[in-house]
Amino acid sequence: MKKNRGINMKTILITGGAGFIGSHVVRRFVKKYPDYKIVNLDNLTYAGNLANLRDIEREPNYEFVKADITAGELMKVLFNEYRFEGVIHLAAESHVDRSISNPMEFIHTNILGTVNLLNAARLTWEDPEGKLFYHISTDEVYGSLGDTGFFYETTAYDPRSPYSASKASSDHLVRAYHHTYKLPVVISNCSNNYGPYQFPEKLIPLTIHNIKNNKLIPVYGKGENIRDWLFVEDHAAAIDLIFHDAAIGETYNIGGHNEWKNIDLIRLLCKIMDKKLNRPAGTSENLISFVKDRAGHDLRYAINSEKIQKKLGWKPSLRFEDGLEKTVDWYLANESWMANVTSGDYQKYYENQYTKR
């Protein structure tokens, strides 16, 4: 079993562990490190779904706690109770469109929630040796690129939406706590994730869902915005490496090296779906509907991941086309999951199973 800088990490807090990326990280850690106690803390908002973790929910080294990271005193209580040696902080409001319509929710959760966790760790970790606060962030904090160039770990921050501004603020606070209080931290900034269990307001699962149900596929502007896509299991593997092997105080960019215009990605999905659903070629493309562009829509994101590749030996495991086909297969094979998520019934069910702390 791996050890973190020579210290056996025993109790790990993963925030937002019922969400899309978080559930993959929780699953990986529960299965790969049976001697760790993994505590999954999630508030089960619209994007948190414990159905994502049914396959490991009865594992002896796994525990779920329903709680809100904006409750500062409760975070201190939990840190004192569990004596966490490590934190992997993924809990966040993350959808740009929602941040435009309700910025205060993003400020409250992403900034105040992160500070509450930092304070709880600082007050609990009297001896920081062997401890680690790992903050997961986004490439959107860097702003927007032109036709060329990449985001590096040294790129100046230039957030363009309430979401990215709230994440930039939380990144700065994590670094400030490291420099001011000597809190042991690392940060990673990732590109757009895709794969199983992603909430269907995001581009890829939304497109799959709409094609399956013969609904229009909304495309912002002309669909020329470019994103770098990262398979979620590759991201979880990178998080694993960073958590165990990264140097304290460092930042790592994680990208998939898969730049695609939104319209080209959607057309590729249409071709894959036509094949999977035995529809005539070109059928699904007729569902594409261009809509008014999103306010402040960044043109292009592209991450340079050389640092994590050279320092930690990580690299993406899948070609985008292979990962996308794997993703489509998963959604088509898990129609009940999608139906429950889009109906909201799953949230009502799980609200009755757990008492909020």
What backbone phi and psi angles, to 5 degrees, belong to 156?
A: -65, 145
Q: How far is CA 72 from CA 36, 115, 333, in A?
A: 25, 8, 40
For 104, half-sphere exposure in the C-beta direction (CA atoms, 13 angstrom radius) is 0
Structure tokens at 104: 């205060």
Q: Are 199 and 232 in contact (CB under 8 A)?
A: no
Q: Are 52 and 197 in contact (CB under 8 A)?
A: yes
Residue carrying structure tokens 């829509």:
297
* 3-state helix, strand and coil shares in percent for the chain, rounded to the nearest 5: 45, 15, 40
Selecting among 62, 163, 301, 331, the annotated active-site residue is 163
Q: First CA to last CA across the chain, in angstroms?
A: 32
Is 140 labeled as catalytic in the residue annotation?
Answer: yes
Selecting among 42, 68, 140, 153, the annotated active-site residue is 140
Selecting among 42, 68, 93, 139, the annotated active-site residue is 139
> Is 298 in a helix, a strand, or coil?
coil
One-letter identity of residue 345:
D
Cα 226 to Cα 228: distance, rounded to the nearest angstrom: 7
Cα 17 to Cα 257: distance, rounded to the nearest angstrom: 26
Catalytic positions are 139-140, 163
